[in-house]
Amino acid sequence: MPRPEPPTPDGTGRQDFARLLQRLSAEMNMLSHDFAAAQGLHATDVHALLAVMNAAHSEHPAPATPSSLSQELSLTSGAVTAVLDRLERAGHVRRARDGADRRQVQVHYNPGAGSLAAAWFQPVGASTDSVRSEFTDVELRTVTRFLDRMTEELGELRHRRRDTDR
């Protein structure tokens, strides 16, 4: 007989909690799709753009490469080329040869392109600030820790599944 699921601190069950996370994820996805449409891009292009930005701002910053994007986004090299072509035409990224290894192509985020994204996502920042103001510093540290751990755990799950499927 299955054990009853433990309630979360607010009394909701695991399924209710999962639904809240799914709703948050869906809203963020829809905002991302709307940004893509407004920029004349595909949703995959926005995922690639985020991967380029995350590579540059990670714990060990390094430019993204077409190969790393192919792996991160589970796209063929041809699909990555099409994505990068669109992102370059829209002014979001630039490709450059690695100074040490001219065979290697690096993908860099164009800092000037940030103004497009900033204008679009500024209301998201304002909403975030508004909601954050409702919580104490202790609560925010807990929420931050939870979101960070969930993101890590889901990323690891995604990579394990991809490794198993190959």
77 pLDDT tier (thresholds 50, 70, 90): very high
Kindly state the tokens that stand for 150.
């969930």
2 pLDDT tier (thresholds 50, 70, 90): low
Q: What is the pTM of this model?
A: 0.74
- Sheet strands (E) in 21-87: none
pLDDT tens-digit profile of 100-127? 888 889 999 887 777 777 888 899 999 9
Exposure of 5 in the CB half-sphere (CA atoms within 13 A): 11
94: helix, coil or strand?
strand
Cβ neighbours for 114, distance < 8 A, ≥ 6 positions apart? none
pLDDT tens-digit profile of 8-65? 566 667 888 889 999 999 999 999 899 899 888 899 999 999 899 888 888 888 889 9
pLDDT of residue 84: 96
pLDDT of residue 4: 58
Domains of the chain, earliest start first: 14-112 (1.10.10.10)
What's the DSSP call for residue 135?
A: S
Question: What's the CA gap between 56 and 80, in Å, rounded?
Answer: 18
Name the amino acid, one letter, at 128: T
- Sheet strands (E) in 11-161: 93-97, 105-109
| Burial of residue 32, with CB atoms counted within 10 A of its CB: 0-12 exposed, 13-18 middle, 19 or more buried | middle
